[in-house]
Amino acid sequence: MILDFFENNSEQLIISAILIGVLVIIKFAFKKSTNKVAKLSGYNIGRTRLMFKYINFATSFFAFFTLLLTWGVDPKDVAWLFSSTFAVIGVALFAIWSVLSNITSGVIMFFSFPFKIGDKIEIHDKDFPIIAIIEDIRAFQIHLRNEKNELITYPNNLILQKSVKLVSKASELEEENYD
């Protein structure tokens, strides 16, 4: 029975093995390049691990989709399955659109945010201006510590919409503390 399965599906098994191998290589390349960006930009390991989770999700999704097609599932059925799934997810995310917006902003901030943990920044918000030190950058929000030692959580999507000024870099703040 097991031998019959291997004989009848040998072509799909070979294609699946090659596909999984290629996807592992692609995943490795994405992780390697993300790690390189993180090291060059001085990002902390927590932010880098978050990007790894996003890479794992995207490659796993792509692998699942291509394996379904490899094993003979009709593309119309796969499209119907994914469109139905995304419709349900879309309705759920519409109710909490800010979560998706903040996650997307977190990914954008990983690759292009010019400030690092420890930098002192000023957020130009007419209603609530903030001058604080960046304590942590997370998937949904950035943690700031002001001069009164209060922890301020600021949503990632808002920090990309506001004008932000660098008051001093983390290295300059360390030098001030030693003087």
pLDDT tens for each residue of 106-151:
888 888 888 888 999 999 988 888 999 999 888 888 999 999 999 9
The pairing of strands 151-155 and 163-168 is unpaired
Q: Which residue range(s) make up the domain with 39? A: 2-73
Same domain? For 115 and 63 the reply is: no
Same domain? For 7 and 69 the reply is: yes
Q: Which of 73, 103, 129 lies at the terminal end of a domain, its last residue?
A: 73
What pLDDT was estimated at residue 178?
44
Give Cα 103 to chain centroid, integer Å. 7
According to DSSP H, which parts of 42-169 are helical? 45-70, 75-95, 97-112, 156-161
CA distance 71 to 97: 35
Work out how many domains the chain is built from and give that number. Answer: 2
Q: Write the pLDDT tens digit of every residue in 67-100.
A: 888 887 787 887 787 788 878 877 776 667 777 7
Lowest mean pLDDT among 115-119, 146-150, 158-162, 174-178: 174-178
**Domain containing residue 148: CATH number:** 2.30.30.520
CA distance 15 to 74: 17
Query: Residue 127 phi/psi, 5° resolution?
Result: -85, -30
Residue 97 lies in a domain: no
CA distance 51 to 29: 13
Same domain? For 124 and 63 the reply is: no
Tell me if the pTM is above 0.85.
Answer: no
With contact defined as beta carbons under 8 Å apart, do 108 and 160 qualify? yes
Residue 36 lies in a domain: yes
Residue 79 lies in a domain: no
Closest to 55 in 3D by CA, of 135, 110, 122: 110
Residue 148 lies in a domain: yes
